[in-house]
Structure formats: C-alpha cells, structure tokens
Amino acid sequence: MTHTIRTEPLTPAAFAPYGDVMDAIGAPDKMINEGRCGRFHDRAVLDFADGEPGISIFKSAVAALPLEVSLVERHPLGSQAFVPMTQHPFLVVVASDANGVPVDLRAFITEAGQAINFHRGTWHGVLTPLHAPGLFAVIDRTSEGANLEEFRFDTPYLIKG
C-alpha cells in the first residue's frame, strides 16, 4: 500500500531538525550600504567533513503534485544548500534516520524568497522544482569522494498538495 504524505508550508521551526531556512523575514542582523540593504547574516550551517565547498548551478526538469517519491539520498561528507534563482515555490522532501534507514518522511512547499540548507547527512528527496525554469544555485562539497548515499523504498510515497 502506498503511503500518502500531505505537504506542509516550510517554516524555520518545522524544518529545524533537517536544516536551515534562509530568508529575509524579520529584522536584518545589520544594515549595510548606507542603510539601503539588510544583511541577514550567516543563516546556514555549512559543515564539510573534508574537502572544499563550491557553488554550482542546477537546472532541473519540473514535477507536479501528486508525485510519487521512491528515492531519497544523503551526503555524509557535507551540507547542501539550494537557492532558488526564481520566485517560484519548490518541493522539499526530508526524512529522519533510523540506523541508516530513512523514516518519517515529510514534504514541505517553499514560498518565494526562501532558500534551504540541508544539514550534513540529512535524508532528502532530489531537487524538485514545481515551475520552470527550475534554476537553483547549490552550495555543497565539490571535492571528489564518496559523498552520496541513496535509499530506494520498496513502496513509493505519494506526495499530495
């Protein structure tokens, strides 16, 4: 039997077990540029076991809900941040870990203006934009090395809006 998961709005509190929500909500940490720009400072836990971080651009095909998810992955050697280069929401699937098995899947829908950072080792679904052009900047570990673990579910989860 397929498990069904309802999407939730993405909030920093709800996402805290999995990573960071980066946005410009609330008061900036400081004003710069002669008061013209708010800096919301250092909002992601960048965490790399070794190697170097880099910035890559991802351009992904678009998905639609309801969506079957049968695969999640995690990166044991580093955190991974996704910054949308558009104002479109995207789908963020995460799971907790139980001795190497992803459990308790949750699905979040972002709002315009939210970027995310998966903490190192967090189970997550692959990048899932819901609108073209599916363009993101990704800040993750770019060095060589075994930094990808995948887990395939026997029975897919069905994500519903």
Judged by CB under 8 A, which stretch of 2-10, 35-43, 91-99, 101-109 contacts a second copy?
A: 35-43
d(C-alpha 72, C-alpha 49), whole Å: 21
Query: Toward a second copy, which CB reaches closer, 99 or 156?
Result: 156
Query: Toward a second copy, which CB reaches closer, 52 or 99?
Result: 52
Count of residues touching a second copy (by CB under 8 A): 44
d(C-alpha 73, C-alpha 150), whole Å: 4
Q: Does residue 64 belong to the site contacting a second copy (CB under 8 A)?
A: no
Query: Which residue is listed with tokens 């052009």?
Result: 133
Between strands 115-118 and 67-74, the pairing is unpaired
Q: Does residue 127 belong to the site contacting a second copy (CB under 8 A)?
A: yes
DSSP 70-121: EEEEE-TTB-EEEEESSS--EEEEEEEEETTEEEEEEEEE--TT-EEEEPTT
Judged by CB under 8 A, which stretch of 11-19, 22-30, 89-97, 152-160 contacts a second copy?
A: 22-30
Of 65, 109, 126, 158, the one binding a second copy by CB under 8 A: 126
Q: Does residue 60 belong to the site contacting a second copy (CB under 8 A)?
A: yes
Q: Does residue 24 belong to the site contacting a second copy (CB under 8 A)?
A: yes
Query: Which residue is listed with tokens 């400081």?
Result: 30
